Amino acid sequence: MSVQKGHISNVPKNAVVLSESDALDYQLKMVNQWSPSYEMWPLKFGSMYLAATCAATGFIISEQFRGLCLLPKYSRWMVGVPITTFSALGVLLFQSKIITEDVMLNKTSCIPCLQGRSAMLQGFFGSVYPTIILSFGSALFAQRLNIKLIPQIDKGPSKMLKFCQQMMLQKRNLLTIICGIQVALAFIVTDLQVESVFKLNQRR
């Protein structure tokens, strides 16, 4: 049996009407029972893969700003790890709820639209958000440690903002590459998820 979206007035007599949550549960059950199981990895682990990639690149961004702010190694646990973890959890949650569930339920027929939505989420949580927050977080932590290189925010917020902008500009090539990687991976994983659902519906 395959899951299809349609209006209640067009449902065949022998069809079973499912709510959205029931349809999702049924799809997940079929995915878990699929053989060979590796063909369903994009649906099972796609969001986790993107979250792990987000965490890895977030750590790289954190280390870049830590070096620019002359922060000690222990600062990565105070600044880098919390922000990177939040970014990864954001990707995991939103990719699972907004993209993967949409794909499994065939809610959006426009595949490029899904890929674009996924790329925007991944680009934001995997690049834009950690870049902005980690630059300011590292600068503020360095200020707390009285590192003279960092402008005092209470004496001139604009100087702190300019300092963070300069840090981003110094690492713009790396940050651009990271953003490109995140967006490309989101496109690829979403496409693989669509292919997996197509296989799922074709066999049944």
- Give pLDDT, residue 64: 95
Residue 105: its pLDDT value, please?
85
Q: Are 39 and 195 in contact (CB under 8 A)?
A: no
DSSP state of 152: P
| Residue 95 belongs to a domain | yes
pTM: 0.84
What pLDDT shows up at residue 201?
79
Residue 12 placed within a domain: no
Cβ count near 95 (within 10 Å): 27
Q: Looking at the predicted structure, is the pLDDT value of residue 82 above 70? A: yes
Q: Give a yes or no: residue 19 inside a domain.
A: no
Is the pLDDT at 16 greater than 80? The verdict is no
Tokens of 149: 């290189």
Domain count, the chain: 1
CA–CA distance, 97 with 167 (Å, rounded to integer): 34
Averaged over 96-118, what is the pLDDT?
89
135 in a domain, yes or no?
A: yes
Contacts of 23 (CB under 8 A, 6+ apart): 3, 105
User: What are the distances in angstroms from CA 184 to CA 51, 112, 116, 126, 161?
Assistant: 14, 13, 10, 12, 30
Domain extent, residue 61, equals 45-203
**pLDDT above 60 for 11:** no
State the pLDDT confidence band at 106, using cuts at 50, 70 and 90: confident
**pLDDT, mean over the chain:** 86
In a domain, 21, yes or no: no
**Is residue 61 situated within a structural domain?**
yes
- 199/201 Cα distance (integer angstroms): 6
Establish if 194 belongs to a structural domain.
yes
What is the gyration radius of the CA atoms in the chain, in angstroms? 22
Structure-model confidence comparison of residues 13 and 113, the more confident one: 113
Residue 4 included in any domain: no
